[in-house]
Structure formats: structure tokens, C-alpha cells
Amino acid sequence: MPYLYRDSKPRLPTLPGTARATHSSGKTYKELKQECLRRGVLFEDPDFPACNSSLFFSEKPPIPFIWKRPGDIVKDPKFIVGGATRTDICQGDLGDCWLLAAIASLTLNEKTLGRVVPMDQNFGPDYAGIFHFQFWQHNEWLDVVIDDRLPTFKGRLVFLHSAEHNEFWSALLEKAYAKLNGSYEALKGGSTIEAMEDFTGGVGEMYEVKKAPDNFYEILEKALKRCSMVGCSIDTSSAAESEAKTPFGLIKGHAYSVTGIDEVSYRGRQVQLIRIRNPWGQVEWNGPWSDNSLEWHSVSPSEQRRLSQAALDDGEFWMKFEDFKVHFDKVEICNLTPDALEDSIAHKWEVTIHQGSWVRGSTAGGCRNYLETFWTNPQIKLHLTEKDDGQDDCTFIAALMQKDRRKLRKLGAEMLTIGYAIYESPGRDGHLGKDFFRYHTSKARSKTYINLREVSNRFKLPPGDYVLVPTTFEPHQEADFCLRIFSEKKAITEDLDENVAIDLPEPLNPTPSPQETEEEKQFRALFEQISGKDMEISAEELQYVLNSVFKKTKNIKFKSLSLISCRNIISLMDTSGNGKLEFNEFKVFWEKLKKWINIFLLFDFDKSGSMSSYELRSALKAAGYQLNNYLLQLIVLRYSDEQFQIEFDDFLNCLIRLENASRVFQALSVKNNEFINLNIGE
């Protein structure tokens, strides 16, 4: 199925509490639940049935699973027991530990958890076998409804489960996320940041601590002020090192949370500290600035109280920021968007969102390595107007996400290798052409092209106008994408898609000229030979005339024109309405045809008789048609072949149809309006 361009104007995030119902019935969770209660039945979800197709798409279950409701597994099922905590998350027989790590982080923020996992659900008197959860997907919150039938083997849950045998919120959350992505198997393998973003609507950043920028402390400080989710970890060099304890009490291959960052006055100087939390509890850092270390003896009681040193949670500890950079390897930041649920908005990001598509043959141009097609990619203008507070530059994060690839796995789709480049473009409007990119280098770019769902990087650029070009690494690869721009101050973005515009000369009247040229004399002789005394030719005769001329022209290597093309020509040029062309009508068309031939030859770079579909935008513009991505994609789908080539016959048909449509529109347009009203006859 082709990916067609969709409206890619910048959009603001959805407002809190406005999750869209996604059930195929069109009904909300409350409506479905009330219907079940009224009928006295337990909900069964037809969108995600209790069968093997909901489990796996590439194989059958290794053992026969039995789908059971919580009430069939235990006598007294509960949705949540004693609050949602990390101990509610135990991995089953599915490789989705990345999801579990994100759920564990989710339990640390009660407000965020409450949005993803609505707490007004239970197994009480109004139980109807139906539950719902909310996830962020590509600029909107979705409300995902499920029934509570879960896969079991020998009476035990097969996948995610709680340490409390009668607690089911985490297992049901996993099922809802599996439904969102098409199946349980679709959850195999992933990045914790991916799920964090789906739980918050935030944007992820990954840093290698040893290669972090000089202002890394300030980056973390700002992230925590915005209530962003921040995690850190220590790399392992082998599977045997996983969860191995270092001499300093740190665990390798384990996910920690960053819960605070501050400075403390120590012996007459300021020391930068960072607060870390181990979800396991107990196992903590035992180096400088750890609990009860000697360093705290030189800190005033008031400073200790300010830093809540005595009231740290079990497993939570301070350490010197310089030591942190030595002992930890990776930091993941999930920056929250302005629609986050925190009360304060003083430190939130400004964000705009663009939706778009890479479509083979028209807008899937690949990276800058492929100059001939790179310029055809979607282009987004970024206008940075306001400097950061106390800075000379403007900070922003550009996050490019490929959409629904996990859901499309069952159709053979994989994560594409994606990235982007940013160019300075002062005073330039409209889609930038090939020569711009030939002679200008990028001002910034994504650090790498990688096959992750999202590529995001932070930049600091001077105020000005820029163009961001999102691409796949190789051309001809199709996908929908979502581009989000997060900025410290408000930034203005717009899609550099062309506005549809038509610039055609007024049609010439087919009146005889006082003196015939030599070319006209030759045509008249051939015309008379074919048409007879009435000097009118049919579509079949026109086909013979044009193909005869093409064969005698040295620089034209076109294939023969089709009969359909000739019928379309007559439809365009026949002013008398008799289905034939008079000689004077033919002369007018011949002038038009010569112009179209010259345009085609201009873009037939290898003189093969065909033109790359990626050049169609420029070729049509030369003919007077400025089209947007959507129309270009439709035309390419209609007229190009599997190698993204367009023969002259197809190019001719395309131009004839465009001119016919534009002439009809102009005839029916009132006061050159952009809209027309048609009755059924028209």
C-alpha cells in the first residue's frame, strides 16, 4: 500500500485529558462498559481477539496458551494492590524488558502514571471485563480499550506479571500496549526511550557520558526543572557482567533514575552534585558524598536540610558530578512536552509538530549522498527568532520519528535508517532545488543515521532562517514520519511544500498566419495526405502523423505515442467538438508540443527517452504547474514505472490532463477564486 502525503502543517500537541477513542465500534470505554453491564455480559474485544494472531505473527506459540480472565486465575483479583510500584513488574517469556524498564520509571511519577493507567478501574461491583489505558502516538493521546483475557500456561500468566499474584494492572497495561502495536510479538526488542515517549508524549535524548557536551550539567539541570524523566546506566562488556556489582556499590547493566542535581558549598567552594536512585533499594554508591560519608561533615546543617540529605529514599544517594561522569556511561532524557500534567509551566518546552511521508518516486530522496534525489525530500523551514536567556544562540531539539514500523512488522516492515540535515537559508522561500544543496553545506545534522524509531539531537544555532530536511538513508524507501521541534523559546516552523499555482499562457486562436513557414508547409503536405480534402484528422490519423515526425527527428528517442494520448490531444484542442483536429488546431498544438518536448529533453539527463520521476516537480514547474507534494505523489503513482521513470507518452498525458483540468477550473471559477461550485451536470 503506498504511503501518500498527508497534511504536514505544524500542529500543536493535543490538550491533556483529550485522548481519542480508538475502538473499531467508535464507542468510548465508558459506552462499551455500560453496554456490557446493561446486557449482563463480559466484554470481548473483537479488535484484539483471544487467539494466536494477537500473540505472534511469524510463528505459532511453542506451547498451547489458554486465555483466562483474572477471576479465572485467582479468587480475589485486584487492579492495584498497595499502589503501583516497581515490584509490580516481573518479566515473562517475552523479550520486552525495554518496556518493563519504562513501566518501572513510570511508577516513580504518580501524575504521569495516572494518565497512562486510569485509576478508576477495578474488579468491583461494576466489573465488566473491560479496561483501558492511554498512550501517546504521533501528536495525539489514544485511549486503548481491551478485555481482560490474558494468555496463561498451567494457570500462570505467560508474559508480564506482578509479584503480587492477585494484582493485574501491569499485565493489562502490557496487553494494551501489545494491541496498540499489533501483537505481543511486536514488542520484542526495543529502546526504553521509545516506551517512555509513548507514556509521556515527550522526546528522548541519549548521551554517552564520556562524550557529553561541556554544558552537560546545565542540560541535566534544565531537564529536571522541566520534570523530565532521566535515567542512567553503566555499560556491560559481556552478558556475564549484567547486574554485576562494582567495588563502589554500583550495578552494571542496570537502569538508575536521576532524581536531582544541585550545588553545595564545601570548604569554601561550590561542588556540583547529582542525586541517583536505584529502584532496587539498599544497593548504593559508597564513594564520596554517599550516605554518611565524611564530606557531609563539612557541610552546614542548613545545606544538608536543603538537599534533604537525611530524608533520602532507600537506594537514593548523592555523588559528585565528576565521579558520575567517570562511573556511568549512558544517560537517557525523556523531555516532557507542554501538555504534561505537572502544575508549573514555567520551564516547559515550546513544541511544533509536522506530519509527512517519504513516497517512492517523488519524496523519498535519501540522504545527501544521493544529490540527484536528496532535494526532493520534504523540507521544513525553521525560523529561530529569540535567543535563550543570557545566551547568544537558540537551543532546540529536532526529533524525527518513523511511524507505525513496529505495528507493520507483520507485513515485513523493519525500522528504516533515518536522520536529517539542517541548512541555513536566509531570505529563501519555497521548496529548495538541487543546485542549492549542490553548493551549500549543512549547518548542522543528526549525529548519525540509525535504524531506531526516533532520531533526536540538541542544537544551538544563531537566530535566523534554516531548512531541515528529514530523510531515510537510502532513496526509494517509504514511510510516514513525525517531526517534532522542541525549542527553549518560541520558534516558527512551516512546511516548504509548494502552494498549488498555475501559470499558463492564454490559448491561441487557431487562425491562419499570412505566411506559412517551411515547417508548416511540410506539415500541411503530410496533413493533406492523411486527412483528405476535409483537412481534419481523427485520433488514429493523428497518431500516425506524430509518430512519423518523431521518427525523422534525430534528437528525439521517444517511444511511439499511444492512441490514448492522441485522443486526449484531440479532447484538449478540438474547439468544434466533432472529435477531430483541423489543420489550424493542429498548428496550435504543435507549438505547445514543441515546448513540452524541449522541457522533457531538458530533464532527460541521460537522453534515454525517459525522465526520473524525481525530476517531475521541476519539469512541471517549467511547464507552468507548481504542485504540492500530495499532487506530485498522486501523479507519480499514476504515470511512473517501477524504476521511477516517466516516458514521454506519460509525460504528455499528464500535461494534457493538467491543462484540461486547469482550463475547466478557470472557466468555472468566479473572480479567480481558489474554489468553485459544481452542479451535477458540470
Q: How far apart are CA 66 and CA 47, in angstroms?
A: 18
Q: How far apart are CA 641 and CA 649, in angstroms?
A: 12
In terms of DSSP bridges, do strands 418-424 and 444-445 run parallel, antiparallel, or are they unpaired?
A: antiparallel
Cβ proximity of 127 and 77 under 8 Å:
no
Full DSSP string of 154-169: TTEESSSB-SSTTB-H
Q: How far apart are CA 157 and CA 175, in angstroms?
A: 12
Cβ proximity of 351 and 493 under 8 Å:
no
Q: Which residues contact 428 (CB under 8 A, 6 or more apart)?
A: 436, 465, 467
* Active-site entry in 52, 90, 97, 286: 97
- Residue 204's DSSP bridge partners are 334
Q: How far apart are CA 180 and CA 154, in angstroms?
A: 27
* DSSP 8-state secondary structure symbol assigned to residue 83: S
| Kind and range of the H or E run holding 324 | helix 321-327
In degrees, to the nearest 5, what angle opens at C-alpha 562 toward C-alphas 560 and 568?
Answer: 135
In degrees, to the nearest 5, what angle opens at C-alpha 368 toward C-alphas 363 and 372?
Answer: 60
Q: Of all residues in the chain, what percent are helix, strand and coil, respectively (each to 5)? A: 30, 25, 45
Full DSSP string of 551-584: HH-TT--PPPPPHHHHHHHHHHH-SSSSSSEEHH
* Active-site entry in 109, 139, 181, 278: 278
* Active-site entry in 161, 254, 354, 431: 254
Active site residue 254: yes
Active site residue 476: no
Active site residue 555: no
Q: Grid cell 506482578 — which residue?
A: 162
Q: Please give the positions annotated as active site.
A: 97, 254, 278
